[in-house]
């Protein structure tokens, strides 16, 4: 059990220790190979120990550091197959079982949020419920069932007998987020080098605003209830209702089901395709149905239920889209899908994504063309080979894709939508899902509908 390091210096030292630890283990590995041990075994040991350190450090730091680790988990499909195993396991554990807070700290938060008489409200901290209906909880499990970047989740029974999930915000997490944002702020010069047309200050301001928003449990409760109302009775998607909220405690209906990470590693092909289809529908339909999108699509936030529905958890990060998908986005997608390079360029300039005359129509469409492939076929298979190839293309600083990145502009207001889209892409690829993207997109984005 851990408390959260709050100072920027302590957190920076812990983060800096990740690459240093890997370098030390790699040096030891060279010695072992010289001593006659097989290179494959030594490499596997180095990767496993580095992954274990990654889990321990990011899990204990919580805040922005753990948020980074969870974002990495959504894109683990980009890792080469021979490296993915131990890191996938470590990042998956971050989604579900990061190191918990000490029990006295949990008690402190409950007391501050539910009142000084909180101990009288909890007759039992074990699995057997007590009879007194006037108590706020009939039972409360002290051992958390999941850990998130800013809070951990306990299972309990509400006074009316409802099974609930109790999310408790980590004390000191606001200070931790502030310290992590200062660390990220130092990457501004590197960002300017990699993408000169991007305004890094605007990017960090937007990131800071989003992360601070996640500390507001009342805001999260409002967003979750909006989704619960919008998807009430849906045959494919379940959003748990909100039961109670305070500054640092959020109580929602409990949901059983297989974590999406489990579906990724051991689900059948049918289960993985089903989960992928439901994820896509959640993403595409939410602006029309709930007036916003779910902003944190890492696998730890989803469960596949026994009846085939997808349960959606954690609404700390959402983006309002009160009028549905912007028509400009629909026109850009249509131009890319139809390979209309001239129209794509005009729309990109009109949307202020590019300066006039920054690129030619062909040099815009050619590197982007593979990303529009899911919109062109009846069924699209999100396989790792495809995503890893595109990752190599876009990370090569000498090719057309990188030249385009250096000239592109990304308004900060679009950052969350872009992050969600790429996170969803990563999860669909981890699922190895085959999904009817075109038909689903045509249903929810008017500009893509057949004419």
Classify residue 122: in a domain, yes or no. Answer: yes
Please tell me the pTM assigned to this model. Answer: 0.76
Classify residue 112: in a domain, yes or no. Answer: yes
Classify residue 318: in a domain, yes or no. Answer: no
pLDDT top residue among 156 and 114 = 156
- From residue 51, how far is each of 70, 83, 90, 97, 152 by CA, in Å? 14, 10, 6, 15, 22
Q: Residue 8 has what pLDDT?
A: 46
Classify residue 108: in a domain, yes or no. Answer: yes
Classify residue 379: in a domain, yes or no. Answer: no
Q: Residue 182 has what pLDDT?
A: 66
**Nearest to 358, CA basis, from 196, 225, 207, 223:** 196
pLDDT in tens, 63-112: 444 444 444 444 455 555 544 444 455 555 555 555 567 778 887 887 88
Task: Say if residue 143 is exposed, middle or buried (CB neighbours under 10 Å; 0-12, 13-18, 19+).
Answer: exposed
Rounded CA separation 250/243 (Å)? 8
Bridge partners (DSSP) of residue 139 are 157
Rounded CA separation 353/424 (Å)? 22
Number of domains in the chain: 1
Classify residue 140: in a domain, yes or no. Answer: yes
Classify residue 423: in a domain, yes or no. Answer: no
Take residue 270 and report the two structure tokens written for it.
């049918």
CATH code (residue 159): 3.30.200.20
pLDDT in tens, 405-419: 888 887 766 777 888
Classify residue 97: in a domain, yes or no. Answer: no
Domain holding 162, by residue range, is 103-171+216-253
């Amino acid at each position: 059990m851990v408390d959260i390091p709050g100072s920027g210096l302590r957190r920076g030292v812990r983060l800096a220790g990740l690459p240093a630890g890997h370098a030390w283990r790699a040096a030891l590995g060279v010695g072992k190979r010289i001593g006659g041990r097989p290179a494959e075994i030594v490499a596997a040991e180095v990767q496993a120990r580095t992954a274990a350190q990654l889990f321990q450090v990011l899990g204990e730091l919580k805040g922005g550091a753990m948020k980074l680790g969870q974002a990495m988990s959504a894109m683990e499909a980009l890792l080469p197959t021979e490296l993915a195993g131990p890191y996938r396991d470590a990042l998956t554990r971050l989604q579900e079982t990061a190191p918990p807070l000490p029990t006295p700290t949990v008690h402190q938060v409950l007391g501050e949020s539910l009142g000084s008489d909180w101990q009288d409200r909890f007759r039992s901290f074990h699995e057997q419920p007590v009879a007194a209906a006037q108590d706020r909880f009939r039972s409360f499990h002290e051992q958390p069932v999941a850990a998130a970047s800013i809070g951990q989740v306990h299972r309990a029974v509400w006074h009316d007998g409802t099974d609930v999930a109790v999310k408790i915000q980590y004390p000191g997490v606001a200070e931790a987020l502030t310290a992590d944002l200062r660390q990220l702020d130092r990457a501004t010069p590197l960002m300017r080098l990699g993408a000169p047309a991007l305004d890094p200050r605007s990017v960090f301001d937007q990131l800071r605003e989003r992360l601070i928003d996640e500390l507001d449990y009342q805001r999260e409760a409002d967003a979750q209830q909006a989704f619960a109302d919008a998807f009430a009775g849906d045959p494919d998607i379940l959003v748990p209702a909100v039961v109670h909220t305070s500054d640092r405690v959020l109580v929602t209906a409990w949901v059983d089901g297989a974590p999406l990470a489990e579906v990724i590693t051991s689900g059948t092909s049918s289960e993985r395709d089903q989960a992928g289809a439901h994820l896509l529908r959640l993403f595409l339909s939410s602006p029309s149905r709930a007036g916003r999108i779910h902003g944190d699509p890492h696998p730890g936030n989803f469960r596949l239920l026994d009846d085939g529905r997808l349960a959606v958890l954690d609404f700390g990060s959402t983006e309002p889209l009160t009028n549905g998908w912007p028509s400009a986005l629909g026109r850009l997608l249509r131009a890319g899908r139809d390979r209309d390079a001239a129209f794509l360029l005009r729309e990109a300039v009109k949307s202020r994504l590019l300066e006039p005359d920054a690129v030619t129509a062909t040099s815009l469409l050619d590197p982007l063309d593979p990303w529009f492939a899911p919109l062109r076929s009846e069924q699209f298979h999100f396989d790792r080979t495809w995503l890893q190839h595109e990752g190599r293309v876009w990370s090569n600083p000498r090719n057309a894709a990188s030249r385009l990145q250096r000239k592109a502009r990304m308004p900060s207001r679009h950052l969350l939508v872009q992050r969600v889209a790429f996170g969803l892409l990563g999860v669909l690829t981890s699922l190895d899902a085959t999904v009817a993207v075109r038909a689903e997109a045509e249903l929810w984005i008017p500009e893509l509908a057949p004419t």
